[in-house]
Each structure stands twice: as C-alpha cells, then as structure tokens.
C-alpha cells in the first residue's frame, strides 16, 4: 500500500459515515412520512451534501501521486472530512421518535451551526490548498469558495424563509457548475 492509500483509509471511512448519516436521515424521512412536516430546503441540503461528500472523495484521488506527507497535510484533509460529517449530522434529525417531526423547526434550530460549519469547511478547503500546494486555488475555484462563504454567512445570520429556499437552489446549481468546470475528469 502506498502512502496516500494508507492515509486515505480513515478519510474514506469518515466520508462513508457522512454518507451513511445523510442516507439514514433521508430514510427516516421516508419511513416516518406520515408524521413528517416536510421542509424541502432541509431535504435539498441533505441531497447536496451527498454530492459534496462524493466530490470530496473524488477530488482526493488527485493526491495519489504524493509520496511525502507531513502531519499538517494529513490533518487538514482529516479536518475537512470531519467537518463534512458534522454537517451531515446537522442536516436532518437523528431520531424520529413518536409524534410529528417538523423539518422546518429542526432546520432553523440548527441553521447557525449548520452554516457556520459549512463556512468552516470552505475555509479549511482554502487552507488545504495552501498547505498542499503552497498557493491558493485558481481564480475560478477561489471565486466559488468566496461566493459560498458569503451566502453561508448570510444563511447563518438570517431566518428569512425566502432566502433559505433560494440559497439551497443557488448552492445546488453553482455546485454542479463547479464540479463540471473543475472535477469532471478523475485526475
């Protein structure tokens, strides 16, 4: 096993746990659908986080040729995956118990933590590039990061239903553009 293969094991496990958390939440929504008050932005973020997790795993393949690693380089990748897991844990309720589950109430209960964690992931992503390559992302990639940081910061601060509905749509479309422009091929 090469160096990255060894390090990738724990990163893959954490991303796998994140995907499991999201799929479990979506499964709970489906199974308790008679008792769930749907708030589609919560479902939208859960689905978008699934795509983000897959993109994070996909993009890590780019490190396969790196044979010398510092603990800081590994730690920054580990921190990014841990924050993605924490985002997944906040996206949907963990338990659906008895009674009605209101996804809107849950969403706004966790909105500051969720979007604060999202900003943290984006900042770690920026620092990751600096630590791994010694430079910030290119202008296109950097622009997307800054755009998402601004919109997530606003989302953490506002309770505007309209903004949160618009934000998840804009985030989904922009992330698809981001993947298409920068990560369409495995490199």
Q: Is the pLDDT of residue 187 over 70?
A: no
Summary mean pLDDT of the chain = 94
Report which of 19, 78, 27 is spatially closest to residue 49, judged by C-alpha positions: 19
Which string of b and e fits 76-98 if b means at least 16 CB within 10 Å? bbbebbbbbbbbbbbbbbeebee
Domain membership of residue 159 (yes or no) is yes
Per-residue pLDDT at 1 exceeds 90: no
Would 124 be classed as within a structural domain?
A: yes
Name the nearest CA neighbour of 30 among 108, 84, 101.
Answer: 101
Rounded Cα gap, residues 107 and 89, in angstroms: 12
Report the share of the chain in percent with pLDDT over 70: 98
86 domain-assigned: yes
* 89 domain-assigned: yes
pLDDT class of 67 with cuts at 50, 70, 90: confident
Q: Tell me the average pLDDT across 128-146.
A: 93
In a domain, 37, yes or no: yes
Q: Which residues contact 85 (CB under 8 A, 6 or more apart)?
A: 14, 15, 17, 18, 21
Neighbours of 34 (CB within 10 A): 6
The pLDDT tens digits of the residues spanning 69-96 come to 999 999 999 999 999 999 999 999 988 8
83 token code pair = 């924050």
Which region among 17-31, 36-50, 95-109 has the lowest average model confidence (pLDDT)?
A: 95-109
Task: Note the pLDDT of residue 140.
Answer: 92
Question: Is the pLDDT higher at 50 or at 181?
Answer: 50
Is 19 within the bounds of a domain? yes
Domain encompassing residue 38 = 3-182
Write down the pLDDT at residue 94.
Answer: 87
* Alpha carbon distance 111, 156 (integer Å): 6
Q: pLDDT tens for residues 25-46?
A: 999 999 999 999 999 999 999 9
Domain total in the chain: 1
Residue 20 lies inside a defined structural domain of this protein: yes
> Per-residue confidence at 186, pLDDT binned at 50, 70, 90?
low
Using the 8-state DSSP alphabet, how is residue 13 labeled?
Answer: H
Q: Is residue 187 part of a domain?
A: no
């Amino acid at each position: 096993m090469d160096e990255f293969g060894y390090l990738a094991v724990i990163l893959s496990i954490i991303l796998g746990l994140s995907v499991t958390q999201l799929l479990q939440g979506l499964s709970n929504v489906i199974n308790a659908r008679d008792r769930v008050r749907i708030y589609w932005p919560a479902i939208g973020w859960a689905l978008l986080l699934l795509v983000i997790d897959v993109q994070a795993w996909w993009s890590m393949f780019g490190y396969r040729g790196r044979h010398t690693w510092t603990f800081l380089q590994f730690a920054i990748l580990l921190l990014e995956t841990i924050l993605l897991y924490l985002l997944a844990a906040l996206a949907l309720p963990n338990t659906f118990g008895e009674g009605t589950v209101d996804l809107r109430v849950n969403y706004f209960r966790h909105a500051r933590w969720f979007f604060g964690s999202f900003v943290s992931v984006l900042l770690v992503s920026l620092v990751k590039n600096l630590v791994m390559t010694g430079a910030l992302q290119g202008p296109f990639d950097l622009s997307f990061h800054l755009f998402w940081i601004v919109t997530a910061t606003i989302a953490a601060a506002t309770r505007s239903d309209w903004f949160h509905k618009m934000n998840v749509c804009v985030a989904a479309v922009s992330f698809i553009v981001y993947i298409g422009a920068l990560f369409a091929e495995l490199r």
